[in-house]
């Protein structure tokens, strides 16, 4: 964790030292402050993710289950994500069966947001996302399929590992990712007694499957 914090801290220090070392133009101050804000936001995402995972490790990751409709919850998350998808002309198709179940709405919302957020973030422009929710036997099955670049088999094995990012170099300085979204999603699904799996084909896309017991 401290290793992950090192980059944004170094960015904040060097940008603020640069800004303070002599008088600069307003544009330069603005640019330095923006970089500091971006890095601080990245650290905030990291620390809140780490807090969640430390609760998982210490057995304090408690669910507050209540009876709710999973179709409604999925629809809400799709609505939240739609503006981001629209920005990149990505179409979201939904195939959702209405069903009631006991689940923790806020944690489940977070898990779905992570999966759908990734399906947008790692998709191609004008790509597609398909979200399905149905019941087979004694299982509730969700899938989130995207038309992104896919994930190589070696990377696929590590995808649920903490801080794991396929293209770390690209997100190094960044605001983009922490590599904590999927481990948190997995913890949420498992806390509900479910499982999560992934299948992916390079250059075709990726599908995450979530299965929950009824
Ligand atoms: P983050 O997105 O914050 O980096 P995640 O834990 O959500 O962290 O994902 C870990 C890594 O898995 C990402 O950095 C990305 O490389 C890869 N990944 C996740 N979802 C997808 C997807 N739908 N398509 C391609 N790669 C993905």
Q: 143 CB under 6 A from ligand 1?
A: no
Rounded to an integer, the average pLDDT of 138-149 is 96
Pocket of ligand 1, candidates 163, 181, 201: which has the most ligand atoms within 8 Å of its Cβ, to mutate? 181
Q: Which of 90, 190, 96, 175 is nearest to 141 (CA)?
A: 96
Task: Copy the structure tokens of residue 111.
Answer: 């898990």
pLDDT classification of 181: cutoffs 50, 70, 90: very high
Q: Which atom of ligand 1 is nearest to the CA of 177?
A: 3
pLDDT of residue 206: 98
- Contact (Cβ atoms closer than 8 angstroms) between residue 112 and residue 143: no
Ligand 1 pocket test, candidate residues 84, 122, 130, 185, most atoms within 8 A of CB: 122
Query: 13-23 pLDDT, tens per residue?
Result: 999 999 999 99
Spatial contact of 95 and 131, defined as CB atoms under 8 Å apart: yes
Pairing state between β 195-201 and 128-136: unpaired
Using alpha carbons, select from 152, 123, 150, 141 the residue that is nearest to residue 197. Answer: 141
Lowest pLDDT segment from 1-5, 8-12, 41-45, 52-56? 1-5
Which H helix or E strand runs over 37?
helix 26-57
Residue 177 beta carbon below 6 angstroms from any ligand 1 atom: yes
Q: Over 70: is that where the pLDDT of 170 sits?
A: no
Q: Mean of the pLDDT values across residues 164-171?
A: 74
Kindly indicate the confidence band of residue 33, based on its pLDDT and cuts at 50, 70 and 90. Answer: very high
Better-scored residue on pLDDT, 172 or 22: 22
Say which residues have a Cβ less than 8 Å from residue 6's Cβ, sequence separation at least 6.
none
Ligand 1 touching residue 39 (CB < 6 A): no
The alpha carbon of 177 and the centre of ligand 1 are apart by a number of angstroms equal to 8
Q: What is the pLDDT of residues 66-119, one digit of tens each?
A: 999 999 999 999 999 999 999 999 999 999 999 999 999 999 999 999 999 999
Rounded CA separation 164/178 (Å): 8
* Separation of alpha carbons 187 and 53, rounded Å: 8
The mean pLDDT value for 49-61 works out to 94
Nearest CA to ligand 1 atom 8: 179
CA distance 60 to 85: 34
Is 35 close to ligand 1, i.e. is its CB under 6 Å away? Answer: no
Distance, CA 198 to ligand 1 centroid (Å)?
A: 11
| Candidate of 118, 144, 200 to mutate for ligand 1, largest count of ligand atoms within 8 Å of Cβ | 118
Residue 172 pLDDT > 50: no
pLDDT of residue 169: 59
Give the 3-state secondary structure of residue 28.
Answer: helix
**Ligand 1 in contact with 127 (CB < 6 A)?**
no
Query: Which of the pair, 183 or 1, is modelled with greater confidence?
Result: 183
Closest protein CA for atom 3 of ligand 1? 177
Query: Does the pLDDT of residue 174 top 70, yes or no?
Result: no
Q: Kindly report the protein residue whose alpha carbon is nearest to atom 9 of ligand 1.
A: 179
Of how many residues is the chain composed? 214
């Amino acid at each position: 964790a401290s290793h992950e914090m090192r980059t944004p801290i170094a960015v904040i220090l060097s940008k603020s030292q640069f800004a303070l070392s002599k008088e600069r133009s307003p544009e330069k101050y603005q640019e330095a402050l923006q970089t500091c804000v971006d890095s601080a936001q990245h650290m905030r995402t990291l620390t809140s993710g780490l807090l969640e995972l430390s609760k998982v490790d210490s057995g304090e990751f408690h669910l507050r289950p209540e009876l709710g409709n999973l179709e409604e919850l999925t629809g809400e998350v799709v609505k939240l994500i739609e503006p981001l998808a629209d920005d990149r002309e990505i179409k979201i198709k939904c195939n959702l069966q209405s069903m009631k179940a006991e689940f923790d709405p806020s944690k489940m919302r977070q898990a779905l947001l992570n999966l759908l957020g990734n399906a947008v973030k790692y998709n191609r422009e004008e790509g597609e996302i398909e979200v399905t929710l149905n019941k087979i036997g004694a299982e509730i099955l969700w899938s989130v399929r995207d038309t992104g670049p896919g994930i190589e088999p070696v990377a696929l094995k590590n995808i649920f590992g903490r801080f794991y990012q396929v293209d770390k170099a690209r997100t190094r300085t960044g605001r983009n990712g922490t590599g904590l979204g999927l481990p948190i999603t997995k913890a949420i699904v498992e806390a509900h007694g479910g499982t999560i799996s992934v299948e992916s084909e390079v250059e075709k896309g990726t599908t995450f499957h979530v299965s929950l017991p009824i």
